[in-house]
Amino acid sequence: MIKSSFDLEKGLLSKGYDFVIGIDEAGRGPLAGPVVACAAILKNYELRTCLVGRRVMNYDKKFDLVRDSKTLSEKQRESIFDFIQENFFVGIGMCGHETIDRMNILEASFLAMKKAVADLIRNKSKVESRKLKELEKIIILVDGNKKIPNFSMEQRTIVGGDKIVKSISAASIIAKITRDRIMREMHKKYPEYGFARHKGYGTKFHMEALKKNGLCKIHRKTFEPMKSLLKKR
């Protein structure tokens, strides 16, 4: 298994970057609910500049669990959530089903990422007097192969970044947990669809519930099979 590490952050900081932001999203594929993005920067100045591994003092082994969210169980993700919040500045951005239907899922994902970066900057400013300024050298590491369009900050795409870059791994876990919690709340409103079980993905249970009950308010109407179901009704 490829291990997530701080190697890329270390290399970029050594080249003069002041901040390296990891960003990832959760929820492109589901048939219902929002897409949620998270942006993350390592908080600890010593780790951020000395950097960043087992040789550094105060390295916590819990960092080993900060890896691709898909390799962690739900229990493991929940157990590491507070640790990530303690050790990373994080920002959350999301776009709901209506925005997804209006823009398409890719554009909504990019918008959620922009919102996440803006939220990260606000959250960091509340804790540190030093804000992210234009004069500082900042780079955003985006999971995947597509840069965020119409965005002024320097970016680098990292295919499989959630598997190999700690900041992106942290973002992937926070995005996943945040979205899962939202879908568990949606389950309380629409229990017949089983959102707590599948989080909106097109499982057999979900498809059968759609055939039986039709769409609920949070389904993405531009996704199949919703488009077909709407035509039949």
> Percentage of residues in the chain with pLDDT exceeding 70?
88
- The superfamily in CATH containing domain 7-190 is Ribonuclease H-like superfamily/Ribonuclease H (3.30.420.10)
Task: Please report which helix (H) or strand (E) contains residue 166, including its range.
Answer: helix 166-189
- pLDDT higher than threshold 50 for residue 114: yes
| Predicted TM-score (pTM) above 0.85 | yes
State the average pLDDT over residues 155-176.
95
Question: Which carries the bigger pLDDT value, residue 14 or residue 93?
Answer: 93
- pLDDT higher than threshold 70 for residue 193: yes
In the prediction, which pLDDT does 88 show?
93
- pLDDT higher than threshold 80 for residue 230: no
- pLDDT higher than threshold 70 for residue 50: no
Contact criterion met (CB below 8 Å) for 88 and 167: yes
In the prediction, which pLDDT does 188 show?
97
- pLDDT higher than threshold 80 for residue 225: yes
pLDDT in tens, 67-109: 888 888 889 899 999 999 989 999 999 999 999 999 999 999 9
β-bridge mates for residue 26, sequence order: 36
Question: Which carries the bigger pLDDT value, residue 103 or residue 123?
Answer: 103
Neighbours of 160 (CB within 10 A): 13
Average pLDDT for the chain: 88
- pLDDT higher than threshold 70 for residue 22: yes
Place of tokens 């089903």: 97
User: In angstroms, rounded to a whole number, what is the distance separating the alpha carbons of residues 221 and 200?
Assistant: 13
- pLDDT higher than threshold 90 for residue 18: no
- pLDDT higher than threshold 80 for residue 130: no
Residues 6+ apart with CB under 8 A from 209: 192, 193, 194
- pLDDT higher than threshold 90 for residue 146: yes
- What are the residue ranges spanned by the domains of the chain? 7-190
In the prediction, which pLDDT does 56 show?
46
In the prediction, which pLDDT does 134 show?
63
Determine the straight-line distance between the first and last CA of the chain, rounded to whole angstroms.
48
